[in-house]
């Protein structure tokens, strides 16, 4: 009875684990692309289409912080996309790249914080947990 139950659990894990792994890859790619598009558009234009006045002259310290934050976010979201590509190739480097980008993401949020910091960090931790869990089960 116990052996049969263990076999059924293994069969369920064989079907659920690749699904979780694919979902993690899709979420990472979509999040990376959306973040990349959003932060590059914010870097060059406001929402209404006008240019940022004086943000690239660096006379104001707030402009330097804002521009540095945007460039860091662009690099982080490009790293998320690269991480997903490595995961598609079944390379362990994808997990490491995501971890590095996530740590940089937390540091950048401490640098220039907003109201959604907790939600973003919590969802990133959950995604990292699912990524590591499904990666270890597949290999």
**Residue 105 has what pLDDT?**
81
Quick: pLDDT tens for 83-138: 888 888 877 788 888 888 888 888 877 766 665 667 777 788 888 888 887 777 66
How much is the pTM?
0.73
Closest alpha carbon to 70 in 23, 112, 25: 112
Mean pLDDT for the stretch of residues 17-32: 85
pLDDT band with cut points at 50, 70 and 90 for residue 24: confident
Q: How far apart are CA 13 and CA 134, in angstroms?
A: 10
Q: How far apart are CA 72 and CA 52, in angstroms?
A: 18
Quick: pLDDT tens for 52-87: 555 555 556 666 677 777 888 888 889 889 888 888
* CB neighbours of residue 135 within 10 Å: 18
Q: How far apart are CA 67 and CA 27, in angstroms?
A: 26
Q: How far apart are CA 21 and CA 28, in angstroms?
A: 11
């Amino acid at each position: 009875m116990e052996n049969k139950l263990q076999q059924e659990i293994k069969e369920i894990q064989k079907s659920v684990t690749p699904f979780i792994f694919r979902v993690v890859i899709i979420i990472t790619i979509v999040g990376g692309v959306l973040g990349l598009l959003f932060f590059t558009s914010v870097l060059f234009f406001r929402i209404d289409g006008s240019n940022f006045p004086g943000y690239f002259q660096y006379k104001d310290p707030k402009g330097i912080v804002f521009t540095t934050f945007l460039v860091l976010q662009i690099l982080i979201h490009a790293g998320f996309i690269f991480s997903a590509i490595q995961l598609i190739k079944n390379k362990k480097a994808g997990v490491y790249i995501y971890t590095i980008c996530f740590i940089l993401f937390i540091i950048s949020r401490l640098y220039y914080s907003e109201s959604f910091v907790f939600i973003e960090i919590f969802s990133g931790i959950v995604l990292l947990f699912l990524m590591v869990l499904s990666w270890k089960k597949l290999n």
